[in-house]
Structure 1
Amino acid sequence: MKPGLSLRVSQHLSLTPQLQQSIRLLQLSTLEMSQEVEQMLDENPFLEVSAEEPPREEFGLAQADAPVRNEDLDVEAGAHAPAEFTAEVRVSSETDAELSPLSADDGQSWDGDGSASMAPDDGEWGGEAKAHGNNLDGDSDADVTELARSQESLQSHLHRQALALHLSEEDGAALRFLIESLNDDGYLEEALAELVDGLTGDDLEEREQMLHHFTVALSLLKTLEPVGVGARGLAECLTLQLKALQSQDDIKLAQARTVAVALRICAQPMDVLARRDIKRLVQLCGVPDAAIREGIALIGHLEPKPGRRFADVERNIVVPDVIVTQVGNGSQAQFRVRLNADVMPRLRVHDIYANALKQHRGGGTEASNYAALQQRLQEARWFIKNIQQRFDTILRVSNAIVERQKSFFMHGELAMRPLVLREIADELGLHESTISRVTTAKYMATPFGTFELKFFFGSGLGTDSGGNASSTAVRALIKQFISAENLKKPLSDNQISEMLKEQGIDCARRTVAKYREGLRIAPASLRKDL
């Protein structure tokens, strides 16, 4: 075989650092976006926040409406697979050459000459809100997140009550340990023997003493408020609450009888109570049907999770990315879509630092420092551009959604029409994966409330007229049927399916059950009024 030279031309696609950052920013939520901006402001000295209103950047929404090249659609599709991020090839275009002086040999860096103009100027871009800080105007304003987290926990509530008990050192330590062993619902899931085994060694005498202290502590724990805390299961939790009612001095004779029946019910298997099997409970408890119904009604007013109101649930305040307002009334109504200025960061390149860098170009050691700073300047410019493109894409997608779902904005969920990601992608010339990223964790404020953008997408069910009904509209119709039902004879899933067929919607019983469970509505047997 004779060695030789050959020339071959090929075209490949790759994800440049700029495109990777653009894709990553697009899928971030508002909170994550704010954190990303904060981090970039801390790391990049060329980036700053300003209160001045800048001119609109050239690479904005107007340019975003231009048709998308097939090559870019392929790149977007490739972005869906993380394994392809390591490709060593890149997309080249005249636009990229203008915006970024990256060389083909340095496709994974932000290097630039430091003077490439990314826009008419390096001025700030964004809305009317600040991204830096918490948007608080003074010490008198409190961070709502911190306020939400300031709620007293179940453990703190119980520890505070335990301070009023005069206990020995051993019993107090055991009580504090049990309090910390409770789950969020207030239950003690582990047996006392298992807790003791984790604290003692092979000394049987020490184990017996500690088990005694834990038993005393558990009996004291069950006397604390909220009633039912420290129970091992649901039956014991309900029993503790019923016994607390039974011990009240002002309880009437009829109430005492009902409590006694409820205690008998709680002594039976919980699955019988969950099914509301009245006949079976009458046999097991040996009391009349009417008494069983009164006992079940009383149990229904008890708290199955004593620690529920102390649960440390992270309260996320949903801030809409897009706001839809109605202009006009009736058939002349129009809906205006705009970005929420409160979530749009106002960023600009630090002019003093950028100008100083252009004027001080040196050699030797200074050349390497100049290259590093030049790279940070280029990174700041690309970050501003990618943020702007993120919000422009969100606005374009939101406009398309509002145009397609205009009936919803006029009449509510019952007027929702079927919509899939592919329809919006084809209309805007974007890839379906891009629409998926845009509609995830982005919210729209409407006259009917605030919804995630994904809410407006749904599959369709066939109708007698040959069209399709949105699954969202079908869910709303099911919810309407159930809210208007007779509680003495609640609607079964099969009956709801038949009612939908009368409306011209072909929806099977299993589909009704799936939608009902998605709405967190109990089955007919549990909705029945006893």
Structure 2
Amino acid sequence: MTLSTRLHPSQTQSFRLGHVTHVLQMSGEELDDHLYRTARENPLLIVRQRRYTAIRAGSAADLIDAGMANRPTSLYDHVLHELAGLIGHGGPMERLILGLVEELEPSGWIGRPVPEIADNLGLACHLVETALALVQRRVSPAGLFARDLAECLRLQLKDKELWDAEAEAVLAHLPALERGGPAALARAAGLDDATVAAQLARLRRLDPKPGGQFAADPTLMRAPDVRIEPDGDGWRAVFTSRFATEVAVLPRAEADVSPDLRQALGEARALKQAMDLRHNALKHIVQVIIDVQGAFFRGGPEALKPLTQATIAQRTGFHISTVSRVLNGLLIEGPNGIVEARTLCPRPSARGGAGGAAKPRVIARLRALLAAEMPDAPLSDQQLADRLGREGLRVSRRVVAKYRQELGFAPVAQRRLRA
């Protein structure tokens, strides 16, 4: 009997601690679903949202169906779900996986070379290479976390069991296709024209940007979660939507209470505590974004500063996985419109290092330079890099070429021919 009395508080404390951790690591959509299901099953728990009426027994399922139908899954939601087993190990593996997820571009490729990612994480390059290979095998669709087009296509061919020596030769000499067409590719790869034609037909059925299927713009589909308003010389955050969920616990009756009701009361209180902690995390994380990116709300993308999730974690004291989850799907509305919170956490440009310019700022200036160039005297990638450098935006010619392609501008020779 004594053993049973001592065991019960320990089990209760473990449940509450685990519940807090679980709620903190949920994405917004996962949290909504969890709250609705829990409120439907727990008679002592009431869940309200400021934009909706309270959830009542018998109508919660309908509300879930209406609220969750046709809701798109973001790329980050998808990969975090697929890699949950690896992240769950904690320690260096969790740090590695989250570091790679943070590098994902909307295309599904990672945006920086492995040595730079390793340097940013403070880990050996071979460890990042090993983790990347593991992630590429685990995640679907195949091709996510590729470093370039050739690797993206190779991963998809291997997934379809179509990888062979001929495919390897074609991908190894793929740049020849752009320079001289299929005939040049056949000569470079040492294959006949028919084989190259068959391989190219295979490649055309693959997806060069597998992340694109998750690229539905959430800013067009629902109200923002946070609104940024002027406050004197600074800004203040107003939390407006589903993150304003209120969890209430019904008071316990004074009469004898059954064990099931006591358990329900404990779980309701644990959920309320977890929600309070989550709200606190959201407020602190958004405040860091405001402190760092205040100029963005006045000047737009050109005023963005580099801000990593690791920096936010350091400033707030929360784990980086908590920061990642809170930012996941979070929409912020300011004077410049509605943006995803992750776009306010840009990495430094590839050459700029930790103190370099943010990628959105470099892209914004690059777009302006390209739009203003003389049609009969277009700027080369090196000239663009030099001009950006004189403005304090240190980027290499290779990075300029990559960003120019993302903006949809052709190389200088083609732009000159069109003039």
Per-residue deviation, 1:18: 2.8
Structure 1 counterpart SS, 2:238:
strand
Query: After the TM superposition, which residues 47-446 of structure 1 pair with which residues of structure 2 at under 5 Å, given as runs?
Result: 47-49=45-47, 127=50, 129-130=52-53, 132=55, 316=218, 317-328=221-232, 333-351=233-251, 354-355=252-253, 358-361=254-257, 370-446=258-334
For structure 2, list consecutive stretches of 5 or more residues without a partner in the other structure. 1-12, 60-65, 73-174, 182-212
Partner of residue 20, structure 2: 22
Deviations 1:339-389 (A, max 9, x none): 1145422332234xx31xx5224xxxxxxxx32332222111111221222
Partner of residue 479, structure 1: 367
Partner of residue 356, structure 2: 468
Partner of residue 338, structure 2: 450
Partner of residue 267, structure 1: none
Query: Aligned pair count?
Result: 267
Q: In the alignment, is the contact (CA less than 8 A) between 1:418 and 1:459 conserved in 2?
A: yes
Deviations 1:384-406 (A, max 9, x none): 22122212211111011101111
Per-residue deviation, 1:411: 1.2
Deviations 1:228-263 (A, max 9, x none): xxxxxxxxxxxxxxxxxxxxxxxxxxxxxxxxxxxx
Partner of residue 46, structure 1: 44
From the two aligned structures, give the one with the greater helix fraction. 2
Q: 1:131 to 1:343 in 2, by over 3 A?
A: farther
Q: In the alignment, is the contact (CA less than 8 A) between 2:27 and 2:326 conserved in 1?
A: no
Q: Which residue identity lines up with residue 346 of structure 1 in the other structure?
A: E
> What is the alpha-carbon distance in structure 2 between the residues aligned to residue 430 and residue 148 of structure 1?
28
Q: Which residue identity lines up with residue 480 of structure 1 in the other structure?
A: A
Q: In the alignment, is the contact (CA less than 8 A) between 1:30 and 1:343 conserved in 2?
A: yes
Deviations 1:92-120 (A, max 9, x none): xxxxxxxxxxxxxxxxxxxxxxxxxxxxx
Q: In the alignment, is the contact (CA less than 8 A) between 2:302 and 2:365 conserved in 1?
A: yes
Q: 1:26 to 1:312 in 2, by over 3 A?
A: closer
Q: Which residue identity lines up with residue 228 of structure 2 in the other structure?
A: V
Structure 1 counterpart SS, 2:295:
helix
> What is the alpha-carbon distance in structure 1 between the residues aligned to residue 287 and residue 243 of structure 2?
18
Q: In the alignment, is the contact (CA less than 8 A) between 2:46 and 2:55 conserved in 1?
A: no
Per-residue deviation, 1:424: 2.6
Deviations 1:124-149 (A, max 9, x none): xx75654749xx9xxxxxx6987999
Deviations 1:158-190 (A, max 9, x none): xxxxxxxxxxxxxxxxxxxxxxxxxxxxxxxxx
> What is the alpha-carbon distance in structure 1 between the residues aligned to residue 364 and residue 346 of structure 2?
13
Q: In the alignment, is the contact (CA less than 8 A) between 2:226 and 2:239 conserved in 1?
A: yes
Structure 1 counterpart SS, 2:285:
helix
Q: Which residue identity lines up with residue 446 of structure 1 in the other structure?
A: G
Q: Which residue identity lines up with residue 35 of structure 1 in the other structure?
A: D
Q: 1:34 to 1:513 in 2, by over 3 A?
A: same
> What is the alpha-carbon distance in structure 2 between the residues aligned to residue 19 and residue 527 of structure 1?
60
Per-residue deviation, 1:48: 2.0
Deviations 1:26-45 (A, max 9, x none): 34333332222211122222
Runs of 4+ in 1 over 4 A off after TM superposition: 126-131, 143-149, 271-277, 311-316, 461-464, 486-490, 517-528
Q: In the alignment, is the contact (CA less than 8 A) between 1:47 and 1:349 conserved in 2?
A: yes
TM-score for both structures, normalised by structure 1: 0.42
Q: In the alignment, is the contact (CA less than 8 A) between 1:320 and 1:445 conserved in 2?
A: yes
Q: In the alignment, is the contact (CA less than 8 A) between 2:23 and 2:274 conserved in 1?
A: yes
Among 381, 398, 401, the alignment partner of 1:493 is 381
Structure 1 counterpart SS, 2:402:
helix
> What is the alpha-carbon distance in structure 2 between the residues aligned to residue 314 and residue 418 of structure 1?
25
Q: Which residue identity lines up with residue 372 of structure 1 in the other structure?
A: D
What's the % identity of the aligned pairs?
27
Q: Which residue identity lines up with residue 397 of structure 2 in the other structure?
A: R
> What is the alpha-carbon distance in structure 1 between the residues aligned to residue 347 and residue 22 of structure 2?
27
Q: 1:518 to 1:379 in 2, by over 3 A?
A: farther
Partner of residue 35, structure 2: 37
Structure possessing the higher radius of gyration over alpha carbons: 1
For structure 1, list consecutive stretches of 5 or more residues without a partner in the other structure. 1-14, 51-125, 137-142, 150-270, 278-310, 362-369
Q: 1:408 to 1:39 in 2, by over 3 A?
A: same
TM-score for both structures, normalised by structure 2: 0.52
Q: 1:420 to 1:313 in 2, by over 3 A?
A: closer
Q: In the alignment, is the contact (CA less than 8 A) between 1:397 and 1:424 conserved in 2?
A: yes
Structure 1 counterpart SS, 2:302:
helix
- Higher RCO, Cα 8 Å, sep 6+: 1
Q: In the alignment, is the contact (CA less than 8 A) between 1:49 and 1:347 conserved in 2?
A: yes
> What is the alpha-carbon distance in structure 2 between the residues aligned to residue 422 and residue 272 of structure 1?
41
Q: 1:405 to 1:276 in 2, by over 3 A?
A: farther
Q: Which residue identity lines up with residue 247 of structure 2 in the other structure?
A: L
> What is the alpha-carbon distance in structure 2 between the residues aligned to residue 315 and residue 405 of structure 1?
22
Q: In the alignment, is the contact (CA less than 8 A) between 1:48 and 1:350 conserved in 2?
A: yes
> What is the alpha-carbon distance in structure 1 between the residues aligned to residue 315 and residue 215 of structure 2?
40
